[in-house]
Amino acid sequence: MNILRLLRNIINYFGFDISKFDTSLLDDKRFYKSYHSDSLLNKVFYNIGAGDFKHQYWTNIDYETNHYKNVQSKNMIHHDLMELSDIPLESNSAEVFYSSHTIEHISNEAVQKMVSECYRILKSNGVIRLTTPNFQLYYDAYKRNDILMWDWDINRYSKKRKFEKYYTKAFDKFSIEQIFLYQFASQLSQITKDNSTKKYSDNEIKEIFNTYSMDDAFDYFIGKCKFNSTYPGNHINWYTKDKLIKILKDAGFKDIRISSFGQSYHIPLRNKLYFDNTHPSYSIYIEAVK
């Protein structure tokens, strides 16, 4: 096995998808030729909830926690989205905002504030791109009893060294109800060791989803969730195409497009080495222009 194939397999194991490792993507200066040199020098491209993301033209915005401190950039902008405070950047100063698999970890109020702040900070014709799990896809899988929708989670977190810190037992020991609930209301599921709230039984989960519409059932459960900084990996929210469009419209965006993996209208965001590579098989992508 050559080195590039080994690297690709390692990356895929951790939930990222790079089907063919294209070495030309490592140096992507050509993707930024349309931007003024000041924008590149001042790194006015922002990744919110960036984790270990690194790029010469980008600035990371993230919430510093012990959970992620070993991978977070030392030069990031520290910002707690749950405080509902302004992002410490000037209005009309940013070229692009990108956020991948972050908004499912925070409340509706925090997401609306974040997106509204992005609108304020973006220059005219600036871009925001969001990606998050597709909960319409998840809901449909649950309704048809398709537990293998979460095959990646089940395989990864059924190994003792992977689950014993945060989870009560291996994922392959849980029902589809518990695995489904974990995806959007983690702390309510019997999977997690987070005991800050009530745990729901399989029958209780079934009853809610048999009684309410999809949106109302999701909202019922996330209404019982509380952000717990001890477990920042918890999901406490859900998103569909319609919910994301409403959030962007309420923030002021009008030019809104549902997108797909690697299919941004904006050249830098099509570099799959840096963007769109977290769980693309069950993610939704959306972008908007100010």
The pLDDT tens digits of the residues spanning 12-36 come to 545 555 555 555 566 789 999 999 9
Predicted local distance difference test score (pLDDT) of residue 163:
76
Domain holding 176, by residue range, is 135-222
Q: Are strands 94-100 and 283-289 parallel, antiparallel or unpaired?
A: unpaired
Same domain, 126 and 263: yes
Predicted local distance difference test score (pLDDT) of residue 2:
40
Q: Lowest mean pLDDT: which of 135-149, 159-173, 260-274? A: 159-173
Range with the largest mean pLDDT of 4-8, 118-122, 165-169 = 118-122
**231 inside domain:** no
> In whole angstroms, how far apart are CA 235 and each of 59, 81, 94, 174, 215?
25, 14, 28, 18, 16
The yes-or-no verdict on residue 7 having pLDDT over 70 is: no
Q: Which tokens is 102 given? A: 């972050």
Same domain, 164 and 48: no
**257 inside domain:** yes
Domain boundary among 197, 222, 247: 222
Domain count, the chain: 2
| Residues forming a β-bridge with 48 | 61
Domain boundary among 222, 251, 266: 222
Same domain, 198 and 247: no
Question: Taking the model in full, what pTM does it have?
Answer: 0.89
- CA 238, distance to chain mean position in Å, is 11
CATH number at residue 94: 3.40.50
Same domain, 114 and 10: yes
Same domain, 154 and 195: yes
Q: Lowest mean pLDDT: which of 13-22, 78-87, 102-111, 260-269? A: 13-22
Same domain, 70 and 210: no
Same domain, 246 and 127: yes
Of residues 288 and 232, which shows the higher confidence score? 288
Mean pLDDT of the chain: 90
Same domain, 71 and 181: no
Same domain, 35 and 46: yes
The yes-or-no verdict on residue 219 having pLDDT over 80 is: yes
Same domain, 128 and 141: no
The pLDDT tens digits of the residues spanning 173-199 come to 999 999 999 999 999 999 999 988 999
Helix (H) or strand (E) holding 95: strand 94-100
Q: Are strands 122-133 and 283-289 parallel, antiparallel or unpaired?
A: antiparallel
